[in-house]
Amino acid sequence: MATEQSAAPRATGRIERARQQEARKLARRSFLRVSAFAGLMLFLGSQIAGFLGFFNLRKPTGFGGVVNVSKGRVPAAGSDPVRITEGKFWLVNNIGPQGDVLQVGGTGGLMALYWKCPHLGCSVPWNPAFNGATVNFPGIIGWFRCPCHGSTYSRAGVRVFGPAPRPMDTMELTTNSDGSLNVNTGKITRGAPDNPLRAVSYSG
């Protein structure tokens, strides 16, 4: 009788241990399934994000996308360029041959100049008091001049001095019927001596 009573708890203990082992196995399987599913979702998410980025379906705003410039921010013809911070460019409105220091036939208009120096990438400011006589262009006051190594550019972004390998790059610019502008900061064209010919006429 005593033997039967002692055997019963042992059998119950074995059953309970077996249940616990099975429960642990199920928990491990569930954890592995959840981990695998989460990893798959992360992978698919990264692939979709890359796809959207490649085909530009996210329609970015600010730098890298289209920046709208209201009519009120457009500089008057011949006045100092305006810095458009959200697009990382200078908006210039030249009159006639202004900025066409190499005389390639520029007739004026609007330009969006990427403010990154083609030399080492420093941000190029507008210096309204800089005298062109310093760089062999006497009589012309106001130039873009890189603070890092002195590369100097005309109002049309034409390089006249310094280590920069080319003129300032330009961005695609279109005018709207309400006088505002759209500047596509994702479409940047390498600067060249023909920069003044890229200006877009503007009547406001």
pLDDT of residue 183: 98
pLDDT of residue 44: 79
Domain boundary (36, 58, 80) is at: 58
110-126 residue pLDDT tens: 999 999 999 999 999 99
**pLDDT of 3 above 90:** no
Cβ 169 vs Cβ 125: under 8 Å: no
**pLDDT of 186 above 90:** yes
C-alpha Rg value of the chain to the nearest Å:
33
Asked whether residue 204 is assigned to any structural domain, the reply reads no
pLDDT of residue 55: 55
Pair 111, 31 in one domain: no
Asked whether residue 203 is assigned to any structural domain, the reply reads no
Domain boundary (58, 76, 99) is at: 58
**pLDDT of 11 above 70:** no
Mean pLDDT, residues 85-111: 97
- Give the domain extent around 159: 66-198
CATH number of the domain at 83, please: 2.102.10.10
138-178 residue pLDDT tens: 999 999 999 999 999 999 999 999 999 999 999 999 999 99
CA dihedral sign, ordered 69, 75, 78, 83: negative
Q: Which residue has the higher pLDDT, 48 or 57?
A: 48
Q: How many distinct structural domains can be found in the chain?
A: 2
Pair 180, 112 in one domain: yes
Query: pTM higher than 0.95, yes or no?
Result: no
* Listed ranges 41-45, 56-60, 117-121; the one with the highest mean pLDDT: 117-121
* Band (9; pLDDT cuts 50, 70, 90): low
Q: Is 99 exposed, middle or buried (0-12, 13-18, 19+ CB in 10 A)?
A: buried
pLDDT of residue 160: 98
Pair 114, 74 in one domain: yes
Q: Is 184 exposed, middle or buried (0-12, 13-18, 19+ CB in 10 A)?
A: middle
Beta strand spans in 55-125 (E): 66-69, 82-84, 89-95, 108-114
pLDDT of residue 42: 79
Pair 143, 185 in one domain: yes
Dist CA 33 CA 26 (whole Å): 10
66-69/181-189 β-pairing = antiparallel
pLDDT of residue 149: 96
Mean pLDDT, residues 62-69: 92
